Chains A and B, each alone.
Chain A
């Protein structure tokens, strides 16, 4: 070997380079992961151009279809020949394109693979409209006419008339939604509470005439309110049914769509960059602020974001006192010996237990044992339908608190160990009791370490899904766990979670192609939510550090 190279190896420089390479590989992997998720997820909301293509099949028959290019790949021609397609014998590879054609109600499928050699004509006509609907996915076609009460409007600019009627329907839809979910939902909730109160009285055997009359009066009051709201709702529903549009698909079929089912419509080929950007922002905002539709494959993910944040916050509130008390006992009060060593080993062991085991424990102990007993003791009026005896926000937070407990204990203990003996002794020498020393000097000085533990706990909890599947996360929750109905926080309710949403949409969705970009967008949001929660905790920690800097030596 060349003596120069031997010397170079002996100097240790190759190992430094190896380390540098490993570190850069890690950073590249993380950056690549984020870039992939961001690229796939964020691109979804951009209004992609709609193409109209004319396809010529083997026997020379032309078919026309319109759609958005979603994906393209090169496949060996051999494979397509085996599938029965006639392709030139001298071609080895064929590019094929995945088109999102929409119109699932008309053609039965909304994605088509097209092989490039079959395309006879491909153009981007300006008048192609993409319609987002409440059901059946997107519709792609041309606007023919706008109808009011079944009568076609004699208007020159049908598109403008359509847009006007769409914004009218939008306003009505907002009104209907508010009436349905907020007001009627609130009345229903109060009626249910009255029923439970009455049932409770029956169980207790306290037949108080006055109270019963009160309940009856209240119920009649609510029923009257309900009746008036129902009337308003029927009127609104009639009003929103007024308009409809006639659209023509690319292959010439005419379809009438009620405007009440249309959420949005745009002509991507006719938009300039500024309009596209506006549309993008509008769609992205809709994604984070709307409720999901169509088995979670369309619409937004607001309830999932809400549930994730609420659960993580509740988990932090539950885990911090438990972890801090345990650490203070281990470090300050307990005599170091076999017992504390066993406890430490147990804590470290807990950190290594697979998360699904916590989920099973939460289900078996919290939900069925604790929750079942709570139901029998405090909510007998609701039985047999369980209140706490089924998965819910509280049990999920408690399970996660258990999962992240070791992290908080270990980091608090380390924080306590860093505080010099002299501070404790000084405090005791000034006449403070042991408790006062702990509460007034030691714990405040350890608070940055406690916050570090909480940051780690939040980071771990926000991404955990497997145990939550067992203790309260559902794919679609009917109501939010924190709302305007007394007592506002409903810890027994089931909730939605971003991580589970990703799993559900990505793996159990009826329409995988349509849902794929949403999976990436949701994953990106989960990363963002986790980072935001972490930043919040880091800010609090830095503030605490700043506050107690003077005490540090």
Chain B
């Protein structure tokens, strides 16, 4: 919700950090209520959600593995 309110939601982006941008999450939130059920647009948005999910999944699993390894390493202390 923060990104939806604060990023400006411009679909065109450049490298200037003071310009507007659009994140995957905000894109889904903005477009999902308008998309027709079952259309390509709707399915693309689901794909976007899947990409977002995979991304966080990979990062989180990595962090979790590191955490468990560290815990094992220092648990003997």
A residues neighboring B (CB under 8 Å) = 341, 345, 348-349, 352-357, 359-361, 363-364, 368, 464-466, 469-470, 499, 503, 506-507
Contacts and interface: CB of A to CB of B under 8 A. Distances in A.
Given A470-B33, A503-B1, A360 B60 contact: no
B70 interface: no
A507 B5 contact: yes
Given A363-B32, A466-B4, A503-B1, A354 B37 contact: no
Contacts of A345: 61, 64-65
B21 interface: no
B13 interface: no
Nearest to A349: B60
Contacts of A352: 56, 59-60
Interface string B1-43: 1001100000000000000000001001100110001000000
Interface residues of B, number: 22
Given A348-B64, A499-B1, A503-B5, A360 B49 contact: yes
B61 A360 contact: no
A353 B33 contact: no
B52 A466 contact: no
Contacts of A503: 1, 4-5
A361 to B, nearest CB: 8
Nearest to B55: A354
B60 A348 contact: yes
Contact of A357 (B37, B53, B65): B53
A368 B1 CA distance: 23
A363 B57 CA distance: 20
A357 B52 contact: yes
A361 B46 CA distance: 9
30 contacts: A345-B64, A349-B60, A349-B64, A352-B56, A352-B59, A353-B53, A353-B57, A353-B60, A355-B1, A356-B52, A357-B25, A357-B49, A357-B53, A359-B29, A359-B32, A360-B49, A361-B49, A466-B1, A466-B4, A466-B25, A466-B29, A469-B29, A469-B32, A470-B29, A470-B32, A470-B33, A499-B1, A503-B1, A503-B4, A507-B5
A368 B53 CA distance: 20
Contact of B37 (A341, A368, A506): A368
Nearest to B28: A356
Contacts of A355: 1, 25
A322 to B, nearest CB: 21
Contact of B56 (A341, A353, A363, A465): A353
A360 B1 contact: no
Contacts of B56: 349, 352-354, 357
A364 B57 CA distance: 20
A506 B6 CA distance: 12
A354 B61 contact: no
A327 B21 CA distance: 40
Main DSSP-derived SS at the A contact region? helix
A360 B49 CA distance: 7
A221 B49 CA distance: 52
Contacts of B29: 356, 359, 466, 469-470
Contacts of B61: 345, 349
Most chain B Cβ neighbours within 10 Å, of A348, A349, A359: A349
A72 to B, nearest CB: 26
B49 A356 contact: yes
A360 B53 CA distance: 11
A107 B46 CA distance: 47
Given A349-B57, A353-B56, A360 B64 contact: no
Contacts of B45: 360
A399 B63 CA distance: 26
Nearest to B4: A466
B25 A356 contact: yes
A49 B27 CA distance: 44
A364 B52 contact: no
Contacts of A368: 37
B31 to A, nearest CB: 11
Contacts of A357: 25, 49, 52-53, 56
A354 B53 CA distance: 7
Nearest to A507: B5
Given A352-B56, A353-B57, A368-B37, A465 B1 contact: yes
A347 to B, nearest CB: 10
A108 B37 CA distance: 40
A354 B25 contact: yes
A236 B74 CA distance: 79
Nearest to B65: A345
A355 B49 CA distance: 10
Contacts of B46: 360, 364
A260 B58 CA distance: 62
Given A349-B64, A360-B46, A364-B46, A469 B33 contact: yes
Contacts of A361: 49
A360 B28 contact: yes
